[in-house]
Structure 1
Amino acid sequence: MFRTKIKKREAEIIKILNSLADCTPEQKEQKITSIQDLYALELFDNKQYAQCIKEFTKLKKDPAEVIKLFPELSGDDKEKTKKIAGKDLQCAMVALIPYLKDVKAKILNKTGQDEGTTQTQQLELIDTTLLKCYLLINAEVSPLLRNSNHCLVEEAETVLLHHKKHRDLMILYQTKGLHLKALQLLSLLKEQGKEQDTNLDIYQETMKYLKRLGAEHINLIFKFSDWILKEHPEKGLKIFTEENVEAEKLPRREIYNFLKDEHESLVIPYLEHVIHNWNDSTSLFHNALIEIYREKITDKKGQLSDIEVQHIRLKLLRFLEKSTHYTPETVAVHFPTDSLFEERAIIYGKLEHHEQALAILVLILGDVDKALRYCDIVGARPNDEGPDVYVILMKILINPEQSSARIGKALANVPRHPDTAVPDLDKALIILDKYANYISPLKALAVLPDSVPLDRLKHFLESAMDGQLMMKRRMQVAKGLWYAEQVQTEELEHFYQSKSIVINDGDVCPVCKKRFGNQSAFVRYPNVWVYMCGRTRPVTRGDATTSSAPPNGCVYSRHSAARLCGPMDKASAS
């Protein structure tokens, strides 16, 4: 059959050649083109694909017409009997692929053509055909799909699924922005259990894909991360806590609500990461973390072992002490009145309720050492209330009954610790001696009972006097330094104010030789004996350096410092 075709074409060529003599130049050119076209088709029928493509290139043949010659690519079922196979198919594709790439490059290099019409249609046809060519010869298609391609999605989707190229189909969906279809494909493959057949790690691929999505696709992330968070909770949380820009920009409040509603066990690690790793200062997150810690210790204590409860409580105590972004008055409302007394004391401390905080530590917990550590922390703060906490602690130790009445209504019925329920004057005096430098003598003496012997206060009074004398000396030294600085400043001010300059209408700039007018501006530097006018021009004077400047002025430079020129200081010049 092919031989018959070739004979018919040869006859057509002979006929055209015989009629060339009677043609006009335009008709002659058209007939020659027809001959070349017939010759290219004859080459194609003879399976000389490389030479055939060269002829089509010379003729600038429409790529759609060239692609139609390949029934494997055109999808025309009527031409099934003419499909190319085996080595011939390999040779045909090797010749066609460079041709399509060359045509695509030429189309892209064209300027001034409206995209969305002929150019776009040609690019869609070429890229889709290239994809089919690669698949027919089992070549790598991901480079084509990763770049900005014009493949027709539905057609490309069909051929990729036919060849089971699920990973490449994922790339196509991603480059086209079809994230929902990509994630639906992964979900379908997981449900069908085709992970082994596709050689695709569904879990890893879904994780990677979700991590690349930004905040604008947060609902997709929530929807398709659900099964990962259930099956691989710790690794799945990396979708929201990965150390990259995409994860940090995700809406944290929405993620917190999602995890709280659907994956409650992951709320604590998420909040800890947001607060400790990303230094988020949102009060909502700090309050929420405290509340969840508290619930784990109290409401859900039966679900945790003693070691786990102890570990969470230690984290709660540290967080209450270090965080400055939670609202104490809000979290204090939810704390129990029969436990977590140390935590409540820290919260009272944040509220500056030092007497209540110390009363809890001493009267309820009976731990004076913790109360002293509390005083050390508060005393180290740069405020006026710091030194008073030691006095408050002494007052609680000396008169526990009075302090117990001020502990607050919430803890009024809590049993008091037997070791600190009775007055302990000796311990108060020990604190007085140990922290004498941090305690105001007047405030301390005000809380001490009159029965305390004077010799018992000897060490405290001596230390207090030494501290007051040292403070007095420091103030005297500081006062002297401030006074010396003031005197020096006044002398410097007087020195500069005593300088006077006399400039007459007849004075001439020694550099530019121009008189000073009413519009001139003058500056006198203390280490330069030349006054400066507003005009600038290069000049060399004495040890001055020469520099380039606009021609309508002058510059005088001394010691490598640029100066404007001006009249001499007569006193200095003389």
Structure 2
Amino acid sequence: MDHHRAYDTTLLIPGLDKVESFVAWEDFLLVSLTNRDLIKFQITGNHQKSKFQVKQIELKTKFTKKPITQMEVIKPIKKLLVRQGTAVEIYDLKTIQLEKALCSKKAVLFTYNKKKSLCIGTKSELWIFKWENGSFNKKHEIGLPDIPKTIDWFKANKIVIGLKKQYLLISLPNKTPVRLFSTGKNGIPISAKISNDEILLGKDKISIFKDSNGKAPRAYGINWEEPPLKIRYFPPYVIGFFLNKLRVRTLYSQNFVQDIKIKNPKLCFTLVNADNHNFGYVSNKKGVWRIDEIPLLFQIDMLSFEKNFEEALRLCELIPNLDQTKKNSKSKDIKQHYAIYLFSKRNFGRAMDFFQQSNCDPRVVLSLYPFLVSDKFDTQLKIPYFEQTELNNDEKQEAIFSLIEYLTQQRSIIQNRTFEDQENLLKVIDNTIVKAYIQTNYQLVKHFLKLPNSCDLEECEKLLQENGFDDEVIFLYQSKGKHAKALKTISKKANETSNIDELFEYLKILDENDLDLIFKYAHDIYKYDSLKCFNIFLNDNELQKNVKVNKKKKKKIRNLPRDKVKNFLEKNIPDLLIPYLEYIIYEYKDNTPDFNNHLLMLYFQQYGKLKTQIQNETDKGNLKRFVETQNEIKMKMNQFIKLTNDYQAEKMLSIFPEDDLFEERAIFLNRVKQHELALDIYINKLNNIESAEKYCTENYQSDGDTKDIYIIFLHQLILQLNKKNNSSSSSGIIINKDENNFNENEDQLLKMQLIINLMKKYYLKIDPLKIIPIIPKEFPISNLFDYFNLIIKNILKIKRRTVIQKNLHKSDFLNLSFKNSKKGSKSLMIDENTLCQVCGKRIGNSIIGKYPNGVVAHLSCIENKNICPKTKMDFSKNLNKYY
């Protein structure tokens, strides 16, 4: 039984039983009889109704000496090729008049290709002709080992020859035959050309595909139930000739299609394409038959109706000259119906594959799952109705698994498109996915809801609550931005269980848009864990800076406004304010002056409170603890003041006390460049000469505002010394010293020696004209001898250096003067006969240029002043050797 009808057959010319050969073109059929008559028919009619009119328009009796066994129409040149007996002749197609005999004997068959090349096979050779200048001209003669039975062109320069025992592939450039394979036991070569690069060759019951390189382009062949007498390619099918029928097979799947009941068909067959319709002719004892292709679209519909969907899809791809949009639409319709059919056969995975390929509306698929889609959305989205397939529980599970995979792919596709009903469709898909997970793998519900989704809040909330998915409801709220509802639920659970981990994790994902919620629930965390409460206010930029982030999925960095966080903590959780400010300043490197000022103020306030507590505390244990805490705060404050420059020192000076925290005050004074006051604190308040000296070393600039800082330092020491002697400082030095009149003690001597040592140590940084006037007159002149000695040596050193530099400059000047005079001494004589060595003309009164090698030229003739235009010598690198 036929799978479907691919062709209709009509006995076109009954009673014409002595047909030797025929050829068809347009609406003409030329028939050669065994009695050597030649008849030309014109055939008109409607192939769709299989009604034709046959008109004999010409009869040539005894047209040739022998019956015509092969004919071929060559449309481009309007010629008819004929083989009668062993001769090949060329006729005019219109008049059927002989023009030329190409081969008078030995010919056994011929073949022609679209490149206007003709191949005639004789008993031992191939003759190759080329149509040139209105005639066929012989180009090649190729020897053969046996008589050719079939000849087929491959492209323009390759020929496949079928001999009795084997097939050969011949390339015209080298003419060397290449053996393909044997013809089999029956020794009958059979061929059918598929395209310019593919052919079918018969071997007993098998037809084998070969390409122009002799390789098998397909992994299969066509198997026949018995060796065919002949095969022909009738796109898109292959037709095998047998004694009692013509059998139609598909080329792409080898499937049986149809048997055409024509008994004892002759081996003559011709194929015509007119108005995108394929038809052919074949003869037997009853006469000449016409074979008409049934329109492929109709064949496709028949295959779909018979549920042969895969064959319909293959055939759809082969429809020639069909608009791609229409072809896609047809393919989509077939795939959709095939998918529904597969679903009814419980082949859910393949069904979803074809639904995916058809790109159909997902609502078509959802209509097959009424147990998953709610009535609300069924009505809203007008889901199409299909006859429902009753599924048992196991089948439902399998069907749902396949649906989940399908919907997951579809939601990704739909999200990347924009259309009117997109939002509603995504709601249905995501709600259905949640239902499907609940029924198959409930653990995936949470994972799905953590991701951005289009679930309908009301519908999905109800669904989850009914099924006891309390945790999943929270993720639903989160995905929809309903953080207040989520936090309310989580906070209630936290108060019941005293477990704040979930609340903490949720608050950590909120950003500045939900700052009020963070502040609202921070208290709930602080009650149980102050450290976690502190962590919810930290941003992510520092936490993530050392983490490799996937660039394609870069997470948005959480960045809470620090000023608002600071204000909140100050009013509501002051215990966390200092740690927070320390963290953003030290870890985030925040240099906002307000934050830095505030932290210093908090240190100071805490220091002051502890100071009061220490003064009032009588318990030794508490007193020790307060002292340790105060020392810790003071150390942190001191370190902070030293390490950062981002606080406002002027403001801090007005706040910090003058009778306490002297070192910190000195640092503030340093920042505002009040060096004299700062040194006064180190010397007179802290009595720390080393710190004062270090201060000078760190701040000294030879050409800046602090070039006299060591003088200020020494002056402070001298003032301190004079105060201890209860005498005022005076200027000048007593040369005639009287040691008995100088009230000395050990401390004073040490102080005096310290001052002298510092003067000697930093003599290069101290202006002697500024330091001498402030030295007390009581200083013994002998103690200053070393200092003056260093000063004098340095002055002499500077003087010697200056003299040396002066003499060097003078020497350079003299050398340059000598070189200039030497250059000026060279003369150049230009007379009326002097010629430019570039253009050859007289110099005359023109401006000239002269090169170190003596070449003279007009200035206008010189292109590069460093390169001689005559010798091409480059003088730019070393001019000195020429002078």
CA 387–162 in structure 1, closer or farther in 2 if over 3 Å, else same:
farther
Equivalent in the alignment of 1:129? 432
Residues 503-525 of structure 1, C-alpha deviation per residue, up to 9 Å, x if partnerless? 999489xxxxxxx999x995555
Residue 407 of structure 2 corresponds to residue 100 of structure 1 = yes
Q: Is the 8 A contact 2:683 2:717 kept in 1?
A: no
Equivalent in the alignment of 2:373? 74
Residues 60-88 of structure 1, C-alpha deviation per residue, up to 9 Å, x if partnerless? 875335424434422349x9xx9977434
Equivalent in the alignment of 2:113? none
Equivalent in the alignment of 2:538? 240
Equivalent in the alignment of 2:67? none
Aligned counterpart in structure 2 of residue 91 of structure 1, from 392, 398, 412: 398
Aligned counterpart in structure 1 of residue 674 of structure 2, from 339, 353, 367: 353
* Partners of 1:155 and 1:476 in 2: CA distance: 99
> How far has the Cα of 1:452 moved from its partner?
1.9
Residues 460-487 of structure 1, C-alpha deviation per residue, up to 9 Å, x if partnerless? 2233334445555677778889999999
Q: Is the 8 A contact 2:539 2:559 kept in 1?
A: no
> How far has the Cα of 1:335 moved from its partner?
1.4
Indicate the SS of the match to 2:590: coil
Residue 624 of structure 2 corresponds to residue 327 of structure 1 = no
Equivalent in the alignment of 2:707? 384
> How far has the Cα of 1:309 moved from its partner?
0.6
TM-score, normalised relative to structure 1? 0.64
Equivalent in the alignment of 1:5? none
* Partners of 2:582 and 2:497 in 1: CA distance: 37
* Partners of 1:270 and 1:492 in 2: CA distance: 75
CA 358–40 in structure 1, closer or farther in 2 if over 3 Å, else same:
closer
> How far has the Cα of 1:458 moved from its partner?
1.8
Residues 409-463 of structure 1, C-alpha deviation per residue, up to 9 Å, x if partnerless? xxxxxxxxxxxxx997534422223222324333332222212221122232233
Residues 335-358 of structure 1, C-alpha deviation per residue, up to 9 Å, x if partnerless? 124422332233223333333333
* Partners of 1:493 and 1:250 in 2: CA distance: 75
Equivalent in the alignment of 1:192? 493
Equivalent in the alignment of 1:296? 606
* Partners of 1:496 and 1:183 in 2: CA distance: 94
* Partners of 1:367 and 1:476 in 2: CA distance: 44
Residue 459 of structure 2 corresponds to residue 155 of structure 1 = yes
* Partners of 2:724 and 2:813 in 1: CA distance: 55
CA 165–296 in structure 1, closer or farther in 2 if over 3 Å, else same:
same
CA 147–260 in structure 1, closer or farther in 2 if over 3 Å, else same:
closer
What is the identity, as a one-letter code, of the residue corresponding to 2:780?
P
Q: Is the 8 A contact 1:271 1:285 kept in 2?
A: yes
Aligned pairs (5 A) from 1:315-464: 315-379=636-700, 383-400=706-723, 425-436=748-759, 437-438=761-762, 439-464=766-791
Indicate the SS of the match to 2:673: coil
Equivalent in the alignment of 1:9? none
Equivalent in the alignment of 1:202? 502
* Partners of 1:149 and 1:497 in 2: CA distance: 93
Q: Is the 8 A contact 1:72 1:83 kept in 2?
A: no
Indicate the SS of the match to 1:288: helix
> How far has the Cα of 1:310 moved from its partner?
0.7
> How far has the Cα of 1:297 moved from its partner?
0.7
Indicate the SS of the match to 1:188: helix
Equivalent in the alignment of 2:635? 314
> How far has the Cα of 1:328 moved from its partner?
2.1
CA 367–106 in structure 1, closer or farther in 2 if over 3 Å, else same:
closer
* Partners of 1:162 and 1:73 in 2: CA distance: 15
What is the identity, as a one-letter code, of the residue corresponding to 2:715?
I
* Partners of 1:54 and 1:247 in 2: CA distance: 39
What is the identity, as a one-letter code, of the residue corresponding to 1:233?
S
Identity of aligned residues (%): 25
What is the identity, as a one-letter code, of the residue corresponding to 1:273?
Y
Q: Is the 8 A contact 1:345 1:360 kept in 2?
A: yes
What is the identity, as a one-letter code, of the residue corresponding to 1:387?
Y
Matched residue count: 479
Q: Is the 8 A contact 1:397 1:424 kept in 2?
A: no
Residue 63 of structure 2 corresponds to residue 63 of structure 1 = no
TM-score, normalised relative to structure 2? 0.44
> How far has the Cα of 1:370 moved from its partner?
4.1
What is the identity, as a one-letter code, of the residue corresponding to 2:401?
V
* Partners of 1:157 and 1:266 in 2: CA distance: 38
* Partners of 1:388 and 1:352 in 2: CA distance: 16
> For structure 1, which runs of at least 5 residues remain unmatched after alignment?
1-24, 406-421, 509-515, 532-540, 544-557, 559-571
* Partners of 1:148 and 1:289 in 2: CA distance: 41
> For structure 2, which runs of at least 5 residues remain unmatched after alignment?
1-296, 308-333, 379-388, 546-555, 614-624, 729-744, 826-834, 842-857, 875-881
Query: Which is richer in helix?
Result: 1
* Partners of 2:816 and 2:636 in 1: CA distance: 55
Equivalent in the alignment of 2:126? none
CA 105–346 in structure 1, closer or farther in 2 if over 3 Å, else same:
closer
What is the identity, as a one-letter code, of the residue corresponding to 1:125?
V
> How far has the Cα of 1:137 moved from its partner?
0.4
Q: Is the 8 A contact 1:73 1:133 kept in 2?
A: yes
* Partners of 2:723 and 2:696 in 1: CA distance: 18
Indicate the SS of the match to 2:589: coil
CA 463–124 in structure 1, closer or farther in 2 if over 3 Å, else same:
same
Q: Is the 8 A contact 2:679 2:713 kept in 1?
A: no
What is the identity, as a one-letter code, of the residue corresponding to 2:424?
Q
* Partners of 1:322 and 1:479 in 2: CA distance: 48
* Partners of 2:599 and 2:520 in 1: CA distance: 25
Indicate the SS of the match to 1:64: helix
* Partners of 1:402 and 1:256 in 2: CA distance: 54
Deviates more, 1:440-449 or 1:151-160: 151-160
What is the identity, as a one-letter code, of the residue corresponding to 1:73?
L
* Partners of 1:399 and 1:45 in 2: CA distance: 113
Q: Is the 8 A contact 1:400 1:423 kept in 2?
A: no
Q: Is the 8 A contact 1:363 1:400 kept in 2?
A: no
